[in-house]
Structure 1
Amino acid sequence: MKLTDDWFTALSENEAGDMMVVCGRDNITPFIESGKFKERAEVYWRYKGETKGMPSDEEARRMEPVQEALKKAMEKDKLAILTGVYTGGDERIWVFYTRNVPAFGQMLNKALEPFELLPIEIYTEKDPDWTEYHEMYELKPENGEGDTEEDY
């Protein structure tokens, strides 16, 4: 299975009605169908939002290297796959599907060692049917002209 780096971007709202920018991973059907990634891990970074609950430029710059460190560490041996990034409503949420939650936790700690203490929380749930991913994927623009990862 080859993991591509194809992404789309969509706008949505959270339950409170705040605007959310959703970046979703595309072309990962083989990973879904493999049945190996049965658990979802969500990493929440809450921040004091600026305009319409979006992060300040400074806060966004703080998040970028953290996102890259997590993605690189988790995907190196396909322990977990970053499938979605939600930003808005005073938080950023990174959604991963993983083979093993305890190993995910250990890798997360290792990947974040170089950083100062971060304002993050982790939530995990069994999701063998990739329900969250399929719901997020419904937001993909139908014309196929979504933005790529480099655009966010």
Structure 2
Amino acid sequence: MKLGNDWWTSPTESESGRLVMVTGRRGVEKARESGKYNIRVEITWKYSGNSAGMPDDPTSTLMEAVQNAMTDVFDKDPVAILTGIYTGDNERNWIFYCTSVHIFEKKINLALATFDLLPISIYTENDPQWLEYDEMREASEITPSDD
């Protein structure tokens, strides 16, 4: 299954009114419609941000390296698809949709094995309708025709 690798970025606000940059992935409709990617995985990294709630340069650089490691693993074995990234209000959230929590766990451990202990938490939820993805698009005013 060929996935798009076209991304958009849009500002929005957190519940506390702070800036959050939302980056979403286009071209995921085939994966969504396949019915295989029913589990949403949210990886959250809380950090001490600057006055705007954004990460400092060293933290941002480390987050980019972590993200590259994750996408490298899942690009080779697409048991999970990165669909969105939220950065702001002192946290970054990566949103994946996956086929199996058990396999995701193995792959994420492989992806992050070279890093020291990271300040992340992982949450999973069944989301076969991709409701979070739809909410992300609505919050960022991206319409389905943009896919």
Q: How far has the Cα of 1:42 moved from its partner? A: 0.6
Q: Partner amino acid for 2:34?
A: S
Q: Partner amino acid for 1:96?
A: F
Q: Partner amino acid for 2:39?
A: E
Q: Which string of whole-angstrom CA distances, capped at 9 and with x for unpartnered residues, describes residues 1-56 of structure 1?
A: 21121000011111121210000001111111000000000101110000310001
The answer to whether structure 1 residue 48 and structure 2 residue 48 are counterparts is yes
Q: Do the aligned residues in 2 keep the contact of 1:74 with 1:104 (CA within 8 Å)? A: no
CA distance in 1, matches of 2:31, 2:87: 24
TM-score computed with the length of structure 2 as normaliser:
0.93
User: Which residue is 1:95 aligned to?
Assistant: 95
The answer to whether structure 1 residue 8 and structure 2 residue 8 are counterparts is yes
The answer to whether structure 1 residue 69 and structure 2 residue 69 are counterparts is yes
Percent of aligned pairs with the same residue? 47
Q: How far has the Cα of 1:75 moved from its partner? A: 2.8
User: Which residue is 2:84 aligned to?
Assistant: 84
Partner SS state of residue 15, structure 2: coil
User: Which residue is 2:115 aligned to?
Assistant: 115
TM-score computed with the length of structure 1 as normaliser:
0.90
Unaligned ranges ≥5, structure 1:
146-152
Structure 1 stretches (4+) deviating beyond 3 angstroms? none
Q: Partner amino acid for 1:41?
A: V
Q: Partner amino acid for 1:82?
A: L
Unaligned ranges ≥5, structure 2:
none
CA distance in 2, matches of 1:141, 1:123: 25
User: Which residue is 1:60 aligned to?
Assistant: 60
Partner SS state of residue 41, structure 1: strand
Q: Do the aligned residues in 2 keep the contact of 1:24 with 1:83 (CA within 8 Å)? A: yes
Q: Which string of whole-angstrom CA distances, capped at 9 and with x for unpartnered residues, describes residues 78-136 of structure 1?
A: 10000000000100000000000111011111110101110000000000000000111
CA distance in 2, matches of 1:95, 1:58: 22
Partner SS state of residue 52, structure 1: coil
State the number of aligned residues.
Answer: 144
